[in-house]
Amino acid sequence: MSCDLDEAAFVAALDRTTAAHPGMDPLEAGLLAALDLGLPGDSRAFARSFGVEHALVLRALAALEEAGHVTVTARDARTQRTRYDATA
Protein backbone atom coordinates (compact mmCIF):
# COMPACT_ATOMS: atom_id res chain seq x y z
CA MET A 1 0.00 0.00 0.00
CA SER A 2 1.25 3.48 -0.83
CA CYS A 3 2.56 5.64 2.01
CA ASP A 4 -0.03 8.31 1.10
CA LEU A 5 -2.87 6.10 2.29
CA ASP A 6 -3.89 5.90 5.92
CA GLU A 7 -3.67 2.16 6.55
CA ALA A 8 -5.95 2.20 9.61
CA ALA A 9 -8.65 4.14 7.75
CA PHE A 10 -8.42 1.75 4.81
CA VAL A 11 -8.69 -1.31 7.06
CA ALA A 12 -11.74 0.22 8.77
CA ALA A 13 -13.36 0.95 5.39
CA LEU A 14 -12.52 -2.57 4.24
CA ASP A 15 -14.12 -4.01 7.39
CA ARG A 16 -17.30 -1.98 6.73
CA THR A 17 -17.40 -3.13 3.12
CA THR A 18 -16.90 -6.82 3.91
CA ALA A 19 -19.54 -6.63 6.66
CA ALA A 20 -22.01 -5.11 4.21
CA HIS A 21 -21.14 -7.62 1.45
CA PRO A 22 -20.16 -10.96 3.03
CA GLY A 23 -18.40 -13.30 0.62
CA MET A 24 -17.27 -10.51 -1.70
CA ASP A 25 -13.90 -11.02 -3.38
CA PRO A 26 -11.19 -9.22 -1.35
CA LEU A 27 -9.99 -7.13 -4.30
CA GLU A 28 -13.55 -6.06 -5.10
CA ALA A 29 -14.04 -5.11 -1.45
CA GLY A 30 -10.79 -3.15 -1.57
CA LEU A 31 -11.97 -1.17 -4.58
CA LEU A 32 -15.21 -0.29 -2.81
CA ALA A 33 -13.37 0.57 0.41
CA ALA A 34 -11.11 2.96 -1.51
CA LEU A 35 -14.18 4.70 -2.93
CA ASP A 36 -15.66 4.84 0.57
CA LEU A 37 -12.55 6.76 1.68
CA GLY A 38 -13.04 9.25 -1.13
CA LEU A 39 -10.10 8.05 -3.18
CA PRO A 40 -10.54 8.69 -6.89
CA GLY A 41 -11.99 5.79 -8.83
CA ASP A 42 -9.10 5.14 -11.21
CA SER A 43 -8.03 1.59 -12.00
CA ARG A 44 -4.38 2.38 -12.73
CA ALA A 45 -3.96 4.53 -9.63
CA PHE A 46 -5.50 1.79 -7.47
CA ALA A 47 -3.27 -0.88 -9.03
CA ARG A 48 -0.16 1.23 -8.51
CA SER A 49 -1.06 2.28 -4.94
CA PHE A 50 -1.82 -1.25 -3.78
CA GLY A 51 0.77 -3.13 -5.85
CA VAL A 52 -1.82 -5.16 -7.76
CA GLU A 53 -1.68 -6.07 -11.44
CA HIS A 54 -3.88 -3.72 -13.46
CA ALA A 55 -5.52 -6.66 -15.24
CA LEU A 56 -6.73 -8.03 -11.89
CA VAL A 57 -8.16 -4.65 -10.95
CA LEU A 58 -9.99 -4.49 -14.30
CA ARG A 59 -11.42 -7.97 -13.73
CA ALA A 60 -12.64 -6.99 -10.25
CA LEU A 61 -14.17 -3.78 -11.62
CA ALA A 62 -16.04 -5.77 -14.28
CA ALA A 63 -17.50 -8.00 -11.56
CA LEU A 64 -18.48 -4.96 -9.45
CA GLU A 65 -20.09 -3.30 -12.46
CA GLU A 66 -22.02 -6.47 -13.31
CA ALA A 67 -23.24 -6.70 -9.70
CA GLY A 68 -24.34 -3.06 -9.81
CA HIS A 69 -21.88 -1.79 -7.19
CA VAL A 70 -19.98 0.60 -9.49
CA THR A 71 -20.60 2.55 -12.66
CA VAL A 72 -17.81 2.94 -15.19
CA THR A 73 -17.60 6.60 -16.13
CA ALA A 74 -14.69 6.53 -18.61
CA ARG A 75 -12.35 4.04 -20.23
CA ASP A 76 -9.21 4.76 -22.23
CA ALA A 77 -9.12 2.33 -25.16
CA ARG A 78 -5.33 2.40 -25.43
CA THR A 79 -4.28 2.03 -21.78
CA GLN A 80 -7.47 0.43 -20.40
CA ARG A 81 -7.40 2.99 -17.55
CA THR A 82 -10.91 2.87 -16.19
CA ARG A 83 -12.60 5.52 -14.09
CA TYR A 84 -15.52 4.50 -11.94
CA ASP A 85 -17.87 5.66 -9.19
CA ALA A 86 -19.96 3.81 -6.61
CA THR A 87 -23.59 3.42 -7.58
CA ALA A 88 -26.21 5.07 -5.43
pLDDT digits (tens, 9 = 90+) for 25-50: 999 999 999 999 998 899 999 999 99
What size, in residues, is the chain? 88
pLDDT interval class at 6 (50, 70, 90): confident
Q: In degrees to the nearest 10, what's the CA dihedral of 3, 9, 10, 16?
A: 180
Beta bridge partners of 83: 42, 74
Is 1 part of any domain?
Answer: no
CATH code of the domain containing 15: 1.10.10.10
Residue 1's contacts (CB-CB under 8 Å, 6 or more residues apart) are 7, 10, 49, 50, 51
Is the pLDDT assigned to residue 8 strictly greater than 90? yes
**Tally of domains within the chain:** 1
Cα 86–chain centre separation: 9
pLDDT, one tens digit per residue, over 9-29 is 999 999 999 999 999 999 999
> What's this model's pTM, rounded to 2 decimal places?
0.89
pLDDT, one tens digit per residue, over 64-80 is 999 999 999 999 999 99
Is 41 part of any domain?
Answer: yes
Is the pLDDT assigned to residue 63 strictly greater than 80? yes
